[in-house]
Structures are given as structure tokens and as C-alpha cells.
Amino acid sequence: MSPQEQQHGRGYSVPAGRPYALKELQSNLGALGDQVKDLYEGAHPGEYEGVADALYAAFQTAAGLAPAKSYTGCPDHPNGAIDPEAPEGWGRCLLCNDRRRLGQRTQGGRTAAPAVEQRRLGYPVPPPPYTLHLLRTYLRAIEDRRFDLGFSSPDAEFVQIADDLHRAFIVARELSRPRGASGCAEHPGAPVDPDAPPGEACIFCAGRRRRAQRPPQTPEMLPRIRRGERRRLQRRFERPPG
């Protein structure tokens, strides 16, 4: 409790469920170190499955401790419309941006928060390649952060550790996938294209290259209609009356 709060007679109110969830998070993170310690470069993908499961469980707990993410990141309109043409430095909320464009400000109202202060939709995904060294780098950052977490920690610290746990989970999940003969760093578990030249055997990358080399006049396959949807066909001739 700060001196200002003591002077005014106000205490800190711990959010409901935070002590139990924080204890569970600390317990899950403490057991991760022993699991990762036994891993080595070139380890079998099955040895990463337990680490990926433990990281996902810890991420779920940390995400529950952090503030809920919203579509717009706007505190006034968390699930409002997203501005597709938001200028640089503005937020994603269409309502606040329209108000800002028109120069209208409600008396005593709050202006749209800058984009850097708003919560992103979704959690960060690190770029490939995914290696054991990258996984250990994220886990060291998580280990440093978890010792500073407490009941009265600001929401930003819970947001940061949830983001770091999601990055580490993505790396462990990709390392736990079965290794293919493609040798692709972006798709380590991809199937092999038998017709591709050596070094380009990843079927996903080969398909991407073929689509890029396809002439613009080449027709594309239409998406399949999902089950339960009805196809609307135009009649060539109108049905006669009666």
C-alpha cells in the first residue's frame, strides 16, 4: 500500500481469483525448467510434446490473469467496427476515428487512445525458423518476469508474460511436429512433393511457387459449398405460370 493510499484510508483490492490463478501459474512455470533442461539439438519431436502442453496450460492461465483482448482495442467500443483505413498512429475503432475525423468531441469524453496503447487482437507469433535456442531464449525471459509478478502487479506485466508464453508455445508446438524430409524451416512437418527438384521438396512452398508462376488468365477452382448451405441457381427460362 502506497503512502498516499494509507493517508486517505484506501487499500488495494485484489481481483477475484487472482491469488489462486497466480499460484497455479507460478507452479506451472517452475516445472518447465526441468523439462526443457533435458532437451538437446536434434531431439525427437515427441520429447517436445510435454513442453508444448505445459506451455499451453501456463499460457491459458496467464491469459486469464491479463485483461481481455478486444477486436478494436478501444475501451469505449471493445467489440465495435474496425476502421479499415485507419491513419498511421490512430486506433482501430471506427467510431472513435470517425469522431476524430469530424473533430467532434463529447464534453468530458475520452478521446481515442493511440494505437500503441491499445490491446492487439490475437497473440504474437514468432517468425520461423523455430529452434531449441529460440525456445530457451523465450523461457529465460519468462523466468525473469515471473519472479516480479505479484497480487498487485499492473495489468501490463500479465499481458507481457501471456504474450511471451504464447511465443514459447508456438515454438515448442512446431518443434513437436513430426520431421519431414522436406528440410523446410517454415514448414518443418510438411509432406514432400515427389516431383519437386532437390531442396524444394516442401509441398506447401512448391504450391505457393506454382500459384505465383500461374498466368493471370488461368481459372481458379471455386470453393466448395459448406454442408448446410444451399446453392442458388439461376433459371435459364422462367417457369410458366400456372
> Which of 198-232 are b and which e, b meaning 16 or more Cβ less than 10 Å from the residue's Cβ?
eeebbbebbeeeeeeeeeeeeeeeeeeeeeeeeee
Query: What pTM did the predictor assign?
Result: 0.57
pLDDT tops 70 at residue 9: no
- Report, as an integer, the average pLDDT of 68-91: 78
Say what the pLDDT of residue 26 is.
85
> 94: pLDDT confidence band, cut at 50, 70 and 90?
confident
> 56: pLDDT confidence band, cut at 50, 70 and 90?
very high
Say what the pLDDT of residue 230 is.
56
Say what the pLDDT of residue 169 is.
94
User: What would the pLDDT profile of 131-147 be if each residue is shown by its tens digit?
Assistant: 999 999 999 999 888 88
- Counted residue by residue, the chain has a size of 242
d(CA 188, CA 180): 6
Average pLDDT, the chain: 76
